[in-house]
């Protein structure tokens, strides 16, 4: 009798695992960095500045004027 409960239990565990895995892939593949949680305006400004600096460094426009 106990062996009869294994297949339904395996199906339930597999379905829950698949849902979690799909959610992980959907959030991980869509972005190149982890999801930002609890960021305020300052954090967004700093990230925008960092992105501008990286873009300027890769295009060669990062030199400062004197």
Residue 65 is assigned to a structural domain of this protein: no
Q: Is the pTM of this model over 0.75?
A: no
Residue 66 is assigned to a structural domain of this protein: no
Give the number of residues written for the chain: 66
> pLDDT tens across 8-41, in order?
999 999 999 999 999 888 877 766 677 778 889 9
Residue linked to tokens 């799909």: 22
- The reported pLDDT for the residue numbered 65 is 58
- The reported pLDDT for the residue numbered 39 is 87
CB 53 within 8 A of CB 62: yes
Residue 7: pLDDT band (50, 70, 90) is very high
Number of compact structural domains in the chain:
1
Residue 37 is assigned to a structural domain of this protein: yes
Which letter does DSSP use for residue 32 in this model?
Answer: S
State the alpha helices, DSSP H only, in 1-66: 6-30, 41-59
Range of the domain at 55: 2-59
60: left (phi over 0), alpha (psi -120 to 50) or beta: left
Residue 11 is assigned to a structural domain of this protein: yes
Residue 32 is assigned to a structural domain of this protein: yes
């Amino acid at each position: 009798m106990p062996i009869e409960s294994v297949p339904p239990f395996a199906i339930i565990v597999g379905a829950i695992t698949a849902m979690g895995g799909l959610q992980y892939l959907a959030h991980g593949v869509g972005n190149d960095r982890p999801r930002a949680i609890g960021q305020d305006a300052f954090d967004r400004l700093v990230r925008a500045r960092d992105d501008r600096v990286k873009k300027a460094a890769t295009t060669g426009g990062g030199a400062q004027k004197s």
